[in-house]
Amino acid sequence: MTEKKRRPAKKRPGTNTRSPYFLQPARQGAVTVFRRPAGNRIDPKLCGTMANRAMALALVKQLEKAESVVRDLFLEATDDGIEALEAVLEACRQSVMRRAEGGGSPAPGGGGQGRRRGRGRRRGAPRPADGQQPTADAPASGDTSAA
């Protein structure tokens, strides 16, 4: 059989791969997250200020998830809509802060936390941080004196 060449998919109008969020540097190394104006807004919406860029990117990811559930949240101009938006923003900020304090990786590839998958993973117990193998004859508490 002859193989047909596949036609590239049509680009649909309205599919925007660019994120509506953007970052700006703030004082003392902090990063501020804004959302581009939409609806009847003329100014960008301040979504939060995070301690570093990794946490700001984690906040953007969290906000994109929240916005995918309630699409018109940033477009709402009523008092109830603004209160709901502020509550969602605060919940997202708290979620990112909790995750950062808990030692979890706030952004992909940030710190090597979590389980490794695929090739090159080690089986068994994790190795000590100093890179040396634990030995069976070494004292557990670090006390070398005999009592």
Residue 77 lies in a domain: yes
Q: State the DSSP code for 136.
A: T
Residue 116 lies in a domain: no
Residue 78 lies in a domain: yes
Say what the pLDDT of residue 144 is: 54
Say what the pLDDT of residue 128 is: 61
CA distance 137 to 115: 29
Say what the pLDDT of residue 106 is: 45
Residue 26 lies in a domain: yes
Residue-number span of the structural domain to which 36 is assigned: 21-101
Domain total for the chain? Answer: 1
CA distance 147 to 143: 10
Residue 124 lies in a domain: no
3-state secondary structure of 50: strand
CA distance 46 to 36: 9
Residue 33 lies in a domain: yes
End-to-end CA gap in the chain: 84
Say what the pLDDT of residue 79 is: 78
Residue 4 lies in a domain: no
Say what the pLDDT of residue 71 is: 73
CA angle 52, 36, 31 (to 5 degrees): 10
8 Å CB contact between 83 and 40: no
8 Å CB contact between 24 and 31: yes
pLDDT in tens, the chain (147 residues): 566 777 777 766 666 578 889 999 999 999 999 999 887 778 898 899 999 999 999 999 998 888 877 777 777 767 788 888 888 888 888 999 898 888 655 444 444 455 556 676 666 666 666 656 655 555 555 555 554
8 Å CB contact between 85 and 69: no
3-state secondary structure of 28: helix
Say what the pLDDT of residue 54 is: 93
Residue 122 lies in a domain: no
